[in-house]
Chain A
């Protein structure tokens, strides 16, 4: 089977991936004004500080939107179609994209409560997944 694409980590994002491999979802926090931001970026867009802290997200969120892939866009995912990608409003106020598990995509609706977990693939890539809230099963 064809290899799946792997994330190319940067100095900026390494804390996120290190935590993800342990099943923890980290979000950047401005060390100066406290604004949370995701995905990782160099500068706070509110106060322009370069100071960064990392905080653990609760993992709780609500579905903002979704799509279900039926076409095989990449041979690495040939055995997984159809699969759903969900855009989630995390409780912390930022969004995340993840793979849906534990329910049928047909039952999704805006605001559907979900919770995050990571599944580490055979190639070592931690994949963010969302399950219906209250059914968490951590694969770490």
Chain B
């Protein structure tokens, strides 16, 4: 049985994104969830499935308690870091299609000052015990240092340049400013990027995503039920997750320029029955500029090694051939573990994209990337 077209995102909700929110992570999760449920035209008591996202995600029980949910029929967690949100979509559609539940809430929210700082969490997580034992004591402390060698090898093998990384950062910033609900508000140029301080070569400050506070949430329902609900129907045509070779250690990975999404993409595109050329808007996980380039290659938008040239010439900007991260992404809107990418894709396909709306966008995709290379993507369409 294929999951194609079985599920739809019927509700989306986001808080304001900022640095140093006065609200704690749970309050941000509740605020975004209530918005998403109201957006779907549902009552919180209609929720009968919950998949919390992120290490500061409150357990399903907390939502049951606060919302008075009478009969929670499905709960799960999807531990794929920034790919968790899309992996949760897959789990939600599978559960709904199997008749287990009707409306799955996928809540997320974080307050960096309360301890979920992305840059220091890896060594506390059991799935990274090899990195923690063998690499952390060398001074490999941050995800940036673990991912930078992937980018460096790509540059050495294919001639990819830091100025090409800048193209990604500039597009995200331009979209964040237009979008409005974004942490970063100042335009940047290639020179600004090149002059930003080196963090861990080849990543400069403007290659790195933000640390920010906020919440984002989704409601997933059966596609056939969505037709009678409040919003324009946005169907999930394809969804898949993929795990890289050597998932616990990038150092030991045979090909460090290939991410888990390379395994997921053929499944998701095959399920949806479309090709990369058909995609009109893309929300691509962008914890670092290079990761966008690598995913474009791994999904087949271009060949391995051609991603640097692919992002040149404004291709990712509004008006370009592949408008990408129309909300500004993790680089310039907020680091919401990619949940903001899914919210933005749905908004675009509903035609509710505001000042960053891609004209007549009917088919788009969102990706997630997490931990040491897990990947996921979903292809959605306006019904």
Residues on A facing B (Cβ under 8 Å):
4-10, 13, 38-39, 64-71, 73-74, 77, 80, 82-83, 85, 87, 94-99, 105, 109-110, 125, 127-128
Contacts and interface: CB of A to CB of B under 8 A. Distances in A.
B253 to A, nearest CB: 8
A5 B152 contact: no
Contact of A95 (B141, B200, B203, B251): B251
26 contacts: A4-B137, A5-B141, A7-B133, A7-B134, A8-B133, A39-B133, A39-B249, A64-B149, A65-B153, A65-B256, A66-B152, A67-B149, A69-B201, A70-B200, A71-B197, A71-B198, A71-B199, A73-B144, A73-B200, A85-B139, A95-B251, A96-B251, A97-B134, A105-B201, A110-B153, A127-B137
Contact of B138 (A9, A65, A70, A98): A98
Contacts of B136: 5, 7
A80 B137 CA distance: 13
B139 A69 contact: yes
Nearest to B201: A68
Contacts of B201: 67-70, 105
A73 B203 CA distance: 14
Contacts of A73: 119, 139, 141-142, 144-145, 200
A68 B204 CA distance: 11
Which A-B residue pairs are the 5 nearest by beta carbons?
A67-B148, A73-B141, A65-B149, A68-B201, A65-B153
B88 to A, nearest CB: 29
Interface residues of B, number: 34
Interface of B: 119, 123, 130, 132-142, 144-145, 148-150, 152-153, 156-157, 197-203, 249, 251-252, 256
B199 A70 contact: yes
A125 B136 CA distance: 12
A59 B148 CA distance: 24
Contacts of B123: 5
Contacts of B150: 65
B278 to A, nearest CB: 34
B54 to A, nearest CB: 21
Nearest to A38: B252
A125 B137 contact: yes
A87 B149 contact: yes
A6 B137 contact: yes
Contacts of B148: 67
Given A85-B145, A110-B157, A67 B152 contact: yes
A97 B142 CA distance: 15
B198 A70 contact: yes
A80 B159 CA distance: 30
Contacts of A5: 123, 136-137, 141
A64, A77, A94, most chain B CB atoms within 10 A: A64
Given A85-B145, A96-B251, A70 B137 contact: no
